[in-house]
Structure 1
Amino acid sequence: MDIETSEDYKLSFQDLSVFINKTQILHNVCGDVHSKEVLAVMGPSGSGKTTMLNAIAGREAVKLGEITINDQRINKQLRRKMGYVLQQDLFYSNLTLWETLYFTAMLHIPEKVSKPDKLRRIDAIIETLDLEKCRKTIIGAQFTHGLSGGEKKRLSIACELLTNPDIMLLDEPTSGLDSSTAYSLMVQVKRYAEMYNKAVIVTIHQPSSQIFHMFNTLLLLADGHVSYFGKAEKALDFFEEINFVCEPHFNPADFLLELVKKDEETLEIILENWKAKSSSNNKKLSNCNSLDLDNFEPVHEPSDITLQYIKILDSDENKDIDKFSNGNQLSDVRWQSSFWTQLKMLTWRNFKQSRSRILSKYVVGSNIVIAFAMAILWFQMERSYKTIRDRMGWSFFIIVYWGFSPIMDAVISFPLEKTIMLKERAAGSYRLSAYYLAKTISEIPLIALLPFIFVTITYWAAGMKGVVEYIATMLLISLSAINSQGFGFVLGAGILNFELALTSSTTFMLLSLTLGGFYIQRFPSWLVWSRYLSLLHYPFAAISILEFADTPQIPCANATVTQFPQCGKNGTDFVTPKMILEDVQVTLPIYCYICTLIIMTILVRILGYFVLRLKTRQKHLS
């Protein structure tokens, strides 16, 4: 395939000043980068490197200064020409590398591009970034083997390359990688910039000397100030002029970093000399002064190893990465894919991710063990007045168990998913409504499956009522589990502190347990209303009606006052089903409990969406 290279671009930033919590992080930072160039932003930790990238990408508010592309002030449309690779690699751990790229391609490449062309583009990028051997490898997590650190970083870059950006922003791409892997990665980045006419800005903390010599331009930050901006190979010349000489065979990057963080006096000398040097120069970068770079000849050429590596990557079979030039065309459309495409792909991805979590072998095994334990303890109970409390205990235990499990799963799993969602939303991947609806749709069948198996095992083993009641009981417990998960979404989305969210969910469920009606049969008269606050009360009441509504009257002569305190009061000779249900605070018709449970389930899902939307707006990402 023929390569369609991008037009020439120049990204400039002048006098960038950024404040975070009233603390100034960047002080009049200036610089620029052209197509086919790699601008390296170096500096000690806390010097403002990531803040500068966030400001350029529009993820951090800029109080003063200007950012332009080809002398046009940057806006949302122009920012779509950028690809931003974060320092932290955030992916769904149970998806493979290819599945991750497929999801990204289907959402980020315009729908006018055919699916076969999208798949060919995925294959081209996989081959270009040398990811073929791990195409079918899952991403992996802390306790799950998957991609290596270098492979994850290349995957992050691959996801951005799918959209064919003209300007790439890479935040610490070599962080956590060994020197060989870091070098190979930067060779690929350099090759990408030169071959496809792209501009690259990369923040990097402490590169090797080989990596340092790949950079076209260097921006050296110190405490948020520019201490050098110019050609990378001329940086040592500037510092030598002010009597800071790098020893021969010493890594220039190490020398520069040690110098700018040595002490305040040294830093002041550097900043003053840089200001004087740039001010006396004739060439200016808009409102900022820069060294005249055009009169210098490069003193470092790429090593033979670098040239050989680029030559290998430059083979004809890899020359189809830039076929799709959608990145070169500005579009006023906010989303590259329709709502239904977003919903379909998000549902597909979330189902694959959640299936491995909700139906993991450990979870399934644990539930089967508990189900058989219940089957043994409640095995074939006698259907008489003597086992009424035992049968109520069976239903209440299952309702409590399938109330706690889903809410805890939602609260525990949501923080990581929310972090990925915020990253993808910041990149304009999909609508929040599509994400939330897809998460609901994809997880409902998974959440309902295990209660179905659990009830099937224990219901018939315990000798409960009949087929109709079994089906109704199964549906009620599944609905209760879905309702509990909805409350977990609300808590997980609404409370940013994970420990607080977990504690809140536990407290909420324990209160529901206490007010559910099984443990406390006689509420204080002034507190009777509180049972309706328990989400466990409604399924328990409905199942109790199913099981006991047609129980034959129990003669008080055959029972004790301890069992049924109603006996002997007001001439009561028989205990009716109504009395049995009133003992556990069940006083309404069954349809009231079922309808309330359904309405509550729907409303809590809607509430979860608005809570999530509110929180994303607070992060300026909605």
Structure 2
Amino acid sequence: MSTTKISEDVEKGSAGSDYAHLTNDTVQSFSWEDVTVTVKDRTSKQPLDILSGVNGMVEAGEMLALMGPSGSGKTTLLNALAHRAATPSATFQPTLRINGAPTTLASFRKLSSYVEQEDALVGSLTVRETLYFAAQLALPSSISKADRKARIESLLSSFGLQDQAETLIGTPIRKGVSGGQKRRVSVASQLITSPKILFLDEPTSGLDSSASYEVIRFVRDIAKQYKVLVIASIHQPSTTTFELFDKLMLLSHGKVAYSGKITEVKDYFAALGYNMPLYHNPAEFVIDLVNTDFSRDKSSSSERLAHLHTSWAQSPAAARLSTTLRNLSTTKQPSLSIDTASHATANPLQIPLTLIHRSFIKSYRDIVAYGIRIAMYMGLAIMMGTVWLRLSPTQINIQAFTNAIFFGGAFMSFMAVAYIPAYLEDLAIYTKERANGLYGPTAFMVANFIIGIPYLFLITILFSVISYWLGNFWPTAQGFWTWTLWLFLDLIAAESLVVLLSSLIPIFVVALAATAFANGLWMCVNGFMVQPETLNVFWRYVFHYIDYQAYVFRGMMVNEFGNRDYECERVEGGGCHCMFESRLQDQCLIEGKAVLGSYGYGTGDVGKYVGYLLVIVVVYRGLGWLVLFLRKH
């Protein structure tokens, strides 16, 4: 869609139709005083200010641009103002006020939305579906389906996304919309809730100058018509885009070099002796003025920056701002009234169902999530079935049956590492949506667990149908289904381990290494390599009894050897040589229970094994929930 069409949609009013239900007097002003963020310097171990004494205010209908060179503190300030963690391990005590009065995090989230710099979107959803699920998670049930649809269509039109409405966002395997279109989808999905305070972290990232202008113009029109406060960090916009903002806060090294109206920027710096050349982009001019990173004369650039910081701190404009902030905190302002019908969150019972619905669509479209895993497990089943092909129930094959049981259980769980990329994508989306106050770790964990069950069961059935009958394990329906259920529990536990470790360390390579190491440990102590009775005391009591693979191995061993007899080796002269003593030895048979006895396993403990496995799954999921609950985003 052309940018002209976008402009026409905005001018016709379609861009703001989804804001029509809001009153215009909810938020009169948003202000902050003496915002200072301090961390410990890694080299000197001394306190280091990332932001130092930053004051500011935005009034209803205004747009503020946060600008500065890389490392100036733009994103840190944006996060601080949005009630988010400014930076890890930072000391930060904000003084943030709406209408001159402090507000709680819960109230603030009902009034605001935050668009991340990185586009955390579900790649296997279409553009329209992305906005639909944003509406389902963020809007209260009191808003009708017709109104939700109208909002979605309005945003698609306004952001020039109508032609891409049915296009996938895109995955590593399936091509989707462009990077710039993803950016527009991210902004549009946050506007679905009609926020009164909108935070944008690099909203024009990935857009060309024309598309950047139209996106910012749309947001500007929303801000003006419906008195929305917009604060955006932005990096060197074009002149026309820059002039769409009302105010500029220019940062460098965590301090303010200018804070005021866009129209006064040129005259302010000219009065300090820094004249902007004719026909020069003012945004580029002010960034170059405070950027010392690439200066050849470090001494001169440092002096210039110190001069700019001091000049602003001592300027009449800074003094007027301080006076205004003091008056705001002491003068009675219009009370902050939140229309609960407009700003209520979605029904808590609906959220898990919505997440399950979204995950279901992702799971069958995203070949990475389960498609590749199914193919991988099918290949593993064929390999296993043809290596241990049609084993006869003789004593010479007892070790082969045992090896196959170990291989089937251990490598099924080991290959669960293939779930890590899909889970990390889900985790990134959860992180963004939790930070926006949409839902917490409970709904996320419940949906993640439920959506995985049918796919894991399908994987188990397909694997077992091939490997069980090719290997000639105990050839009964009971044996097959018992084997299948053990592997199903094995996969549930393995995926729960993936969820725990990936939540704890949400970095692909590290999560992959940690999961592989954990599964290697479980293989070593599960009772196959070294029988439990002879296992080193430390490994036995510290790890063996919490090893889910150990209980799967026990259960599958009982399934095979608890109900089957094996022929002994016949020797010359008509005698028999049996590797295991059993009550059937005189029949030249080995009772399978004798094999279990050599491992210290009994046939009456299967129920306990299932119980222990379920407890381990619950513990893994519970610890994963705790990690997400304690992590502040």
Tell me the SS of whatever aligns to 1:215. coil
The partner residue of 1:75 within 92, 104, 124 is 104
Task: Find the residue that maps to 2:113 and give its secondary structure.
Answer: strand
Q: Distance in 2 between matches of 1:535 and 1:131?
A: 48
**1:232 counterpart = 2:251:** no
Q: CA deviation at 1:383?
A: 2.9
Distance 1:482 1:119, change over 3 A: same
Which amino acid is the alignment partner of residue 576 of structure 1? E
Please list the CA deviations of residues 256-297 of structure 1 after superposition, one character each: whole Å capped at 9, or x if unmatched. 1111124110012222222332269667553489xxxxxxxx
Instruction: Give the unaligned 5+ runs of structure 1.
Output: 290-326
1:298 is aligned to none
Instruction: Work out the CA distance in 2 between the residues paired with 1:561 and 1:221.
Output: 89
Q: Does 1:267 align with 2:292?
A: no
Cα distance in structure 2, aligned partners of 1:553 and 1:97? 60
Q: Where does residue 145 of structure 2 map in the other structure?
A: 115
| 1:596 matched residue in structure 2 | 609
Choose the corresponding residue for 2:464, options 444, 450, 455: 455
- State the match for 1:180 in structure 2: 210
Distance 1:138 1:586, change over 3 A: farther
Q: Which moved more, 1:517-526 or 1:187-196?
A: 517-526
Is structure 2 residue 519 aligned with structure 1 residue 509?
A: yes
**1:92 Cα deviation after fit:** 1.7
Cα-to-partner distance string for 1:456-505 (whole Å, 9 max, x where unaligned) = 12222233311121111111111111111112222222345554433332
For residues 150-204 of structure 1, the C-alpha deviation after alignment (integer angstroms, 9 at most, x for no partner) is: 2111111112111111121111111232223222222222222223332211111
- Tell me if the contact between 1:493 and 1:608 (Cα under 8 Å) persists in the aligned partners: no
Alpha-carbon distance in structure 2 between the residues aligned to 1:586 and 1:333: 64
State the one-letter code of the partner of 1:13: W
Q: What is the root-mean-square deviation in Å for CA atoms of aligned residues? A: 3.2
Counterpart among 384, 389, 408 of residue 398 in structure 1: 408
Distance 1:32 1:285, change over 3 A: farther
In structure 1, C-alpha distance between the alignment counterparts of 2:255 and 2:369, rounded to whole Å: 52
Of 276-285 and 393-402, more deviation after overlay is shown by 276-285
Matched, 1:546 2:559: yes
Which residue does the alignment assign to 2:442? 433
* 3-state secondary structure, aligned to 1:258: helix
In the TM superposition, what whole-angstrom CA distance separates every residue of 1:407-458 from its partner, at most 9, and x where no partner exists?
x134444333323212211111113211111110111111121121111122
1: CA distance between counterparts of 2:192 and 2:370?
32
Q: How far 1:111 sits from its partner (Å)?
A: 1.4
| Cα separation, partners in 2 of 1:561 and 1:103, compared to 1, 3 Å | farther
Cα deviation, 1:102-138, whole Å, max 9, x if unaligned, reads 1121121111222332222222222222211111222
TM alignment of 1:485-524, pairs within 5 A: 485-496=495-506, 498-520=508-530, 524=534
AA aligned to 1:608 is R
106-115 or 71-80, larger mean C-alpha shift: 71-80
Q: Residue by residue, what CA displacement relative to the aligned partner does 1:546-573 show, whole Å, maximum 9, x if unpaired?
A: 2222334755755999972769xx9998
* Partner of residue 594, structure 2: 579
Query: What letter matches 1:477 in structure 2?
Result: L
The answer as to whether partners of 1:16 and 1:64 remain within 8 angstroms in 2 is yes
Rounded to whole Å, the distance in 1 between the matches of 2:30 and 2:483 is 63
Aligned to 1:220, which of 246, 250, 256?
A: 250
Q: Do the aligned partners of 2:126 and 2:166 also contact (CA within 8 Å) in 1? A: yes
SS at match of 2:349: helix
1:196 maps to which of 226, 236, 239: 226
Q: 1:66 to 1:576 in 2, by over 3 A?
A: closer
Q: Secondary structure at the match of 2:95?
A: strand
1:232 to partner: Cα distance = 0.6
**Aligned partners of 1:410 and 1:492 also within 8 Å:** no
Matched AA of 1:242: L
1:244 Cα offset (Å): 0.6
Query: Is 1:193–1:199's contact at 8 Å kept on the other side of the alignment?
Result: yes
Are 2:402 and 1:379 aligned? no
Distance of 1:157 and 1:524 partners within structure 2: 61
Give the corresponding residue for 1:421.
430
- Any residues of structure 2 matched to 1:239-258 within 5 Å, and which? 239-258=269-288
Contact 1:15–1:287 at 8 Å: present in 2 too?
no
SS in 1 for 2:393: coil
Report whether the alignment pairs 1:337 with 2:337.
Answer: no
SS class of match (1:286) = helix
Is contact 1:13-1:32 (8 Å) kept? yes
TM-score after normalising by structure 2: 0.83
Aligned residue type for 1:547: E
Distance in 2, matches of 1:514 and 1:180, equals 60
Correspondence 1:278 to 2:316: yes
Quickly say closer, same or farther: Cα 1:489–1:96, change in 2 above 3 A.
same
Conserved? CA contact 1:548–1:577, under 8 Å: yes
444-453 vs 376-385, which moves further: 376-385
- Provide the residue aligned with 2:618 in structure 1: 605
SS for the counterpart of 1:182 is helix
Q: Is the 8 A contact 1:335 1:429 kept in 2?
A: no
- CA distances 1:318-350 after superposition (whole Å, capped 9, x unpaired): xxxxxxxxx973449997123320110111122
Contact kept in structure 2, 1:85 and 1:170, CA below 8 Å = yes
Aligned mates of 2:532, 2:309 — CA distance in 1: 77
1:535 aligned onto 2:554: no
**Match for residue 350 of structure 1?**
359
| Percentage of matched positions with identical amino acids | 28
What is the letter of the counterpart of residue 596 of structure 2? Answer: L
Measured in 2, the distance between the counterparts of 1:281 and 1:542 equals: 76
> Cα distance, 1:521 vs. partner?
5.0
**Cα distance in structure 2, aligned partners of 1:571 and 1:463:** 25
CA contact (8 A) 2:249 2:259 kept: yes
- Partner Cα distance (1:60, 1:469) in 2: 54
**Distance in 2 separating the partners of 1:252 and 1:200:** 20
Do 2:353 and 2:447's aligned partners in 1 also have CA atoms closer than 8 Å?
Answer: yes
Distance in 2 of aligned mates of 1:115 and 1:332: 15
What TM-score results when the alignment is normalised by the length of structure 1?
Answer: 0.85
Q: CA deviation at 1:230?
A: 1.5
Q: Distance in 1 between matches of 2:614 and 2:476?
A: 27
1:35–1:593 distance in 2 versus 1, CA, 3 Å: same
- Partner Cα separation in structure 2 for residue 609 and residue 332 of structure 1: 34
Matched, 1:158 2:191: no
Task: Give the paired residue count.
Answer: 579
Instruction: Tell me the distance in 2 between the aligned counterparts of 1:437 and 1:169.
Output: 30
Separation in structure 2 between the aligned mates of residue 59 and residue 70 of structure 1, nearest angstrom: 20
Query: In the alignment, residue 458 of structure 1 is paired with which amino acid?
Result: S
- Per-residue deviation, 1:142: 3.9
Tell me, yes or no, if the aligned pair for 2:440 and 2:629 is still in contact at 8 Å: no
Residue of structure 2 in register with 1:7 after alignment: 24
In 2: Cα distance, 1:38 partner to 1:213 partner = 10
